Amino acid sequence: MAARLSPSRREHVVSQPHLRTVVVLAAGEGKRMKSALPKVLHPLLGRTLLGHVLTAATPLDADRTVVVVGHGAEQVRTHLAEVAPTANPVLQAEQLGTGHAVRIALDAVPDGAGTVVVINGDVPLLRAETVAALVDAHEGAGAAATVLAAEVPDPTGLGRIVRDAAGRLEQIVEERDATPAQRALREINAGIYAFDAARLRASLGKLSADNDQGEEYLTDVFGLLVSAGEPVAVHVAADHAETLGCNDRVELATLRRLLRDRVNERWMRTGVSILDPATTWIDVTVAVDRDAVIDQNTQLRGGTVVGAAAVVGPDVTLIDTVVGPGATVLRSHAIEAEIGPGASVGPYAYLRPAAKLAEKAKVGTFVEVKNSEIGAGAKVPHLSYVGDATIGAKANIGAATIFVNYDGVNKHRTTIGEAAFIGCDTNLIAPVEVGPGAYVAAGSAITQDVPPGALGVTRAPQRSIEGWVARRRAGTASAAAAERAVRAAAEAAEDASDNRRAASEGEAIHRGAEAVRPPAGGGDTATE
């Protein structure tokens, strides 16, 4: 029965939601990445650094999201158009500091009340729950500004949270501007904040660039607010790993390992077996159903979906691939493929875009499939290329069959009917059709349709030219082997004729004996 809302709950539902603006800072170059790619576009298990940050902010349901772009602005804009089309990119042509960046962001949005959430673009492990908790704490306390902080084992390079004797925030100081005593502090600024919009705007106008880097620091807003007697707060993250930034590729690799463990743990807790979590890399965008088994050295990427009780791995990479329930995929690579329920792939198969295996179909060893449907229970077990084909249910494609789909200009399709049988080492030269229940003889090159139930065969009759090796390859190991074989055969023939002679002599003697003996009672005496 649907519970009726209590009056207070009703009040909560109808109360004005806070106007929220999210500002993501993504204009920096990330010099230490030493990359042509802007730092925030580096990928990390299924999303860019920027994509992870935007995802963490999504549940805030902000009225607007502003992304400050600068270095590689065009690349970042293009990426945003794909992953967050409603976000508003704002250009910071010169990177004059995080305070300057937020000022430019707010210049681009209409004056308004509410909460401004600022997130550095390079903190990809940040969870949505943590951002939400920061914003709740900030709005609940009616603070002018709240900073997300964390106690970290190694605070090197980060801004420190400086508190007074009573534990209240006094200021945030950058390491390069800090005193030795401040540097000893291990409570750091994570680069994630909630601000009251009006008081943030007022403070941004007062920032100076009087510091070691000559930049306008967003963090100085806290000191300014404290001096003005405004309430500021510190929200401490439960897990400091969430606040880790990314400044170089070594840190990126560390973040990737941490995220891998987080993702793997999540799937194991929902009933997925991951046999070797250290070598299993699952993008955050992947879905895996219960009782699936992911064996070692396996990467599941993009929009990949693995069905219940499927077995994937070891040594498998699946990109944007759907694996049906109970299917198995072993030592194979697939991209944009569909593997039906109970189907079997590999070892050593390569499924390319639009390879579609129906229920219980099999694609075996050293088989490549592209843009083809393989019917229910159909088999392509060994050494084949299947391109632009439709293969009917229960058809059997023999080893070394090539679907010859490309004439150098155009691609053509091949259709194989239900329960057709293609002999080994066949070329099916498209466009061509083999009817239901038809057979194709091994070693054929099929250029014309084979009617249902017919046998298609294009083999040339065989010739064996006797003695060719002895004449044309004299002195080789082959010639010697052939000579031995010929000699052995001749000797065997001679022995056989001796035996025949002996046997016929023996038979004559036997018959002679029989002639003088009375007939035996019904027994067969000829094969003694």
Task: List the catalytic residues.
Answer: 382
Task: Give whichever of 251 and 276 is closer to ligand UD1, judged by the CB atom.
Answer: 251
Q: Which string of x and - marks every residue 84-113 that binds ligand UD1 (by CB under 6 A)?
A: --------x--xxxx-xx------------
Is the distance from CB of 368 to CB of 383 less than 8 angstroms? no
Q: According to the binding rule CB under 6 A, does residue 122 interact with ligand UD1? A: yes
Rounded to the nearest whole angstrom, what is the least distance from the CB of residue 157 to Mg ion in the complex?
A: 8
Q: Nearest to residue 362, comparing CAs of 322, 327, 412, 333?
A: 327
C-alpha distances in angstroms, 403 versus 205, 338, 344? Answer: 69, 20, 20
Report the residue number whose CB is nearest to Mg ion.
Answer: 245
Is the distance from CB of 19 to CB of 135 less than 8 angstroms? no
Q: Which of 22, 25, 66, 300 binds ligand UD1 (CB under 6 A)?
A: 25
Contact residues for Mg ion, defined by CB under 5 A: 245
Structure tokens at 139: 């709005």
Residue 233 touches which of Mg ion, ligand UD1, none (CB < 5 to 8 A by kind)?
none
468 burial via Cβ count (<10 Å: 0-12, 13-18, 19+) = exposed
Task: Give whichever of 176 and 487 is closer to Mg ion, judged by the CB atom.
Answer: 176
Taking the C-alpha atoms of 213, 218, 222 and 228 in order, what is their torsion angle to the nearest 10 degrees? 100
Instruction: Name which of residues 178 to 237 contact ligand UD1 (CB under 6 A).
Output: 188-191, 217-219
Is the distance from CB of 157 to CB of 80 less than 8 angstroms? no
Q: According to the binding rule CB under 6 A, does residue 120 interact with ligand UD1? A: yes
Task: Give whichever of 68 and 316 is closer to ligand UD1, judged by the CB atom.
Answer: 68
Rounded to the nearest whole angstrom, what is the least distance from the CB of residue 28 to Mg ion in the complex?
A: 7
Q: According to the binding rule CB under 6 A, does residue 121 interact with ligand UD1? A: yes
19 burial via Cβ count (<10 Å: 0-12, 13-18, 19+) = middle
Task: Give whichever of 119 and 404 is closer to Mg ion, judged by the CB atom.
Answer: 119
Which residue carries 């592209």 as its tokens?
A: 370
Return the range that interacts with ligand UD1 (CB under 6 A); candidates 22-30, 73-81, 265-273, 307-315: 22-30
Residue 264 touches which of ligand UD1, Mg ion, none (CB < 5 to 8 A by kind)?
none
Which residue carries 């694609």 as its tokens?
A: 363
Residue 158 touches which of ligand UD1, Mg ion, none (CB < 5 to 8 A by kind)?
ligand UD1
Q: Which of 46, 89, 159, 435 binds ligand UD1 (CB under 6 A)?
A: 159
Which secondary structure element, helix H or strand E, spans residue 390, and what is its range? strand 389-391
Q: According to the binding rule CB under 6 A, does residue 124 interact with ligand UD1? A: no
Is the distance from CB of 297 to CB of 309 less than 8 angstroms? no
Which secondary structure element, helix H or strand E, spans residue 446, and what is its range? strand 445-446
Residue 333 touches which of ligand UD1, Mg ion, none (CB < 5 to 8 A by kind)?
none
Rounded (to 5) percent helix, strand, coil in the chain? 30, 30, 40
Structure tokens at 206: 């007062």
Instruction: Name which of residues 59 to 88 contact ligand UD1 (CB under 6 A).
Output: 68, 70
Phi, psi values for residue 442, rounded to 5°: -55, 145
Instruction: Name which of residues 425 to 484 contact ligand UD1 (CB under 6 A).
Output: none
β-pair type (402-404, 427-429): parallel
Residue 121 touches which of Mg ion, ligand UD1, none (CB < 5 to 8 A by kind)?
ligand UD1
Task: Give whichever of 241 and 305 is closer to ligand UD1, judged by the CB atom.
Answer: 241
Q: According to the binding rule CB under 6 A, does residue 53 interact with ligand UD1? A: no
Q: Nearest to residue 428, comparing CAs of 394, 456, 469, 468?
A: 456
Q: Report the distance separating Cα 403 and Cα 372, nearest Å.
A: 10
Task: Give whichever of 121 and 340 is closer to Mg ion, judged by the CB atom.
Answer: 121
Residue 92 touches which of Mg ion, ligand UD1, none (CB < 5 to 8 A by kind)?
ligand UD1
Interface with ligand UD1 by CB under 6 A: which residues? 25-28, 68, 70, 92, 95-98, 100-101, 120-122, 158-159, 172, 174, 188-191, 217-219, 245
